[in-house]
Every structure is written in C-alpha cells, then in structure tokens.
Amino acid sequence: TTLKLNSGLKGALKTLCDNEHTTVIVVSGYGKDVLHENFGEFKMWLAAENGMFLRLNGEEWFTTSSGQLEIGFRDSVKVNCEPRETSIVWNYEYAAEDHFGTNQANDMLQHLGAYSLSNQSAEVVQGSRSIEVRPVGVTKGNAIDKIMQELGHRKIITTSIDYVLCIGHFLAKDEDVYTLPQFDVEPESERKAKVWQADIMNIKFNLKRDKYFSCTVGRECSLARYKLEGASEVASLLHNLASADRGERDDSRPTKRQKEDHDSGAMSE
C-alpha cells in the first residue's frame, strides 16, 4: 500500500502548521521519500520509519540510530515486503487466501524468533496483518521524545503548553505515544546555570493529564483515552480545529473601523 494524503486535508493542515503557537508532528512507519512527498510542503516535523529519521521541513534529515538490517527472504515472501533503510515490513493484509498469509506469517515468526535472539540490535514487531523487523528501541513514543528534545535545544518552546492532541492507528509496540510524556522540567531562569544533557528534557511543559488528548483510530483495545471510528472522523476533527484556529486569529485582528479609529487617535464609547 502507498500513503497518499487526502487533498481535502491540505487546507486544514496548512492552517494548523502556519500558526506560530502550534507544533505539528507526523510520525509514520513509512520512509523519508513517502513522507516528503505527502507532507514536505507544510511547516511541520516529520519522523520516518517510526522515528529512525527526523526532520523539520526545510532542513536535512538526521538519524537517531545507526542500526542496519540484513535479512534474506524466500521468493513467496518478497512480493509483499516493504524494504526501508533501517527496517523491513512484510504485509499480508491483501493475501489472496487468508490461511496462506497466516501460515506464512507463523512460519516467518518462527525463523525471525531465532534471528532476534541472536541479534540484540533488532526486534520483531507483529501487527494484526503484518510483521516488521526494526532496530531495538525504535518506537513512535521515542520519536516524539527526540523531537521535543530538539525543540528544547532550539528554545522553540520555553513555556507551558495548553494541550497536546495525539491521533493515530498504531501497533501495540508504538502505543507508548499515547502515554503522558514526562515533559515537565525547570523553567528558563533555573536552567541557565545547568549544562544540557542529551537524555534530559529541559522544556517546562507543565502538561496535565486532562490536557493530553490521545485518540486511537478504529482500534477497540488501546491505551488511548478516546476513539475515532475512521479517517473521515479524523478529517472532520482537523477541519474543525482549523476553523477554530482561523476564527480565533480573526477575532484577534482589529476591524477596519477599529484600525481607522486607532490611526486617527479617535476614542469610542
């Protein structure tokens, strides 16, 4: 399957991304080229291959690990493989015969189980209709942590935030993204005298649990607090957020009459 952003969402995404008080992050299992093709035009952060590669659009990609995988597959399996730079996914969602895909998956898991035991740098992640081999420790939750560290380094976010909205359809392995991040650290005045350590987040988020809105898409069992039924509900939510954002910004702008009164020095009752 190939990722293709719904063109009807571009306007809403652009509105949200252009707000200087909002940070938008897209975390995906897809590779760098796919994310760039779909989201490269927006002012947002991208995390490819579940967080192995990160980028603020307009800048170069950087990696969070040096892991590489070398795995050989039989011809019957290669057809459905999605090889990436640092991981590989075998997807049997559209197998012609359901039992054939399941049998092949079970056979592969047996072989990969032995592989993962002998290779401490890689792990096997099983989805409902997929099997993935990725470097150990690579999860979408860790990808978010890395990006937040970058925001701390660059002092893009230095004050507490209003809320976080996290939406996705993730494997169980990646549902750490739904847990409340430990993002509260000392304020700016207290951290000037401290040396930055790469493994410590020094942004004062002051994020409360009731301000962290986690939404799964389509899953019955999830760590997320809320559930959206499908892509149409996600699209509707993004459009509503964009409309509210535009309305808020319009309300903060002076009307033509207010501007004329201000320029002329007039006062109204």
pLDDT for 50-90, tens place per residue?
Answer: 999 999 999 999 987 655 555 555 544 444 677 788 888 88
In the predicted model, is pLDDT for residue 197 greater than 50? no
CATH 3.40.50.1000 domain extents, the chain = 7-64+138-251
> Rounded to 5 degrees, what are φ and ψ at 105?
-65, -45
- Residues contacting 185, CB < 8 A, separation 6+: 191, 200, 201, 202, 203, 204, 205
CATH code 3.20.20.70 for 7-64+138-251:
no
- Residues contacting 231, CB < 8 A, separation 6+: 6, 217
> Rounded to 5 degrees, what are φ and ψ at 257?
-65, -40
Per DSSP, 195 falls in state P
Looking at per-residue pLDDT, the higher value among 71 and 173 belongs to: 173
CA dihedral 132, 135, 137, 139 (to 10 degrees): -40
pLDDT range class, residue 203, cuts 50, 70, 90: very low
> Rounded to 5 degrees, what are φ and ψ at 223?
-80, -10
Q: What mean pLDDT value characterizes the chain?
A: 76
> Rounded to 5 degrees, what are φ and ψ at 208?
-90, 155
Tell me if 216 sits within 8 A of 222, measured CB to CB: yes
Q: What pLDDT digit, counting tens, does each position of 2-58 carry?
A: 678 888 899 999 999 999 889 999 999 899 999 999 999 999 999 999 999 999 999
Local structure of 7: helix, strand or coil: helix
pTM: 0.75
Return the closest-CA partner of residue 31 out of 12, 55, 9. Answer: 55
Tallying the residues shown for the chain, one arrives at 269
* 187-191 CB contacts, 8 Å cutoff, 24+ apart: 188/158
